[in-house]
């Protein structure tokens, strides 16, 4: 039986930005994705379906978002002969764009500290504590 080589995976940091109102998350990655999909599909049902989310759950998120901001982020029309639909308002587009800008800024702010943090990590399978990515992976044993 062959010994498996230990392959060190590169470390990464994945900050998740959440905008809080008191103890409640007003906006985070999931709600932003929902807004983006509503913008793409023009349908709350289709957006919820793409996320694997129940329609009523998506509708509750939209109602919460519309209450949190100074003006609605999603405008929805009821079904019927025309089929209904949902669209992002100007406020909704601004909210999504600003969230992404803040997310990029937070990633940039973390980058320098994370490079220093990586120097403190041991390589997987390395008992000497060398920096991740230094040298080559060695077999265990």
pLDDT digits (tens, 9 = 90+) for 14-28: 888 999 988 888 899
Least confident residue range of 59-63, 89-93, 105-109: 105-109
Q: What is the mean pLDDT of residues 93-105?
A: 96
Once rounded to an integer, what is the mean pLDDT over residues 52-69? 96
Report yes or no: 57 and 75 within 8 Å, Cβ to Cβ: no
Confidence of residue 48 (pLDDT cuts 50, 70, 90): very high
Q: Decide if 13 is inside a domain.
A: no
Q: What is the mean pLDDT of residues 129-133?
A: 49
Which of 5-14, 23-32, 81-90, 125-134 shows the lowest per-residue confidence on average (mean pLDDT)?
Answer: 125-134
Residue 2 tokens, joined:
């062959």
Q: Would residue 32 count as lying in a domain?
A: yes
Is 2 contained in some domain? Answer: no
Greater confidence (28 vs 5) lies with 28
Let me know if residue 129 belongs to a domain: no
**Which residues span the domain enclosing 33?**
19-118
Q: Give the start-end residues of each E strand in the chain.
A: 19-21, 24-27, 74-77, 85-88
Q: How many domains does the chain have?
A: 1
Main-chain phi, psi angles of 22, to 5 degrees? 70, -125
Q: What percent of the chain has pLDDT over 90?
A: 50
Give the model's confidence band at 135: pLDDT under 50 very low, under 70 low, under 90 confident, else very high.
Answer: very low
CA distances in angstroms from 92 to 34, 73, 76, 88, 97, listed in the order given? 11, 4, 12, 5, 9
The number of angstroms, rounded, from the C-alpha of 118 to the middle of its chain's C-alpha atoms is 23
Reported as a pLDDT band with limits 50, 70 and 90, residue 96 is very high
Q: Is residue 6 part of a domain?
A: no
Residue 137, in any domain of the structure: no
Q: What is the CATH number of the domain that holds 77?
A: 1.10.10.10
């Amino acid at each position: 039986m062959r010994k498996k080589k230990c392959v060190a995976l590169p470390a990464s940091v994945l900050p998740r930005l959440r905008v809080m109102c008191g103890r409640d998350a007003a906006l985070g990655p999931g709600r932003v994705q929902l807004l983006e999909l509503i913008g793409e599909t023009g349908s709350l049902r289709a957006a919820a379906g793409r996320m694997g989310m129940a329609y009523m759950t998506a509708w509750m998120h939209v109602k919460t978002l519309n209450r949190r901001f100074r003006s609605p982020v999603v405008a929805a029309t009821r079904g019927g002969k025309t089929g209904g639909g949902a669209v992002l308002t100007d406020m909704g587009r601004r909210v999504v764009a600003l969230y992404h800008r803040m997310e990029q800024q937070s990633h940039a702010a973390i980058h320098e500290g994370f490079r220093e943090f990586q120097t403190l990590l041991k390589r997987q399978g390395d008992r000497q504590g060398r920096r991740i990515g230094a040298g080559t992976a060695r077999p265990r044993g």
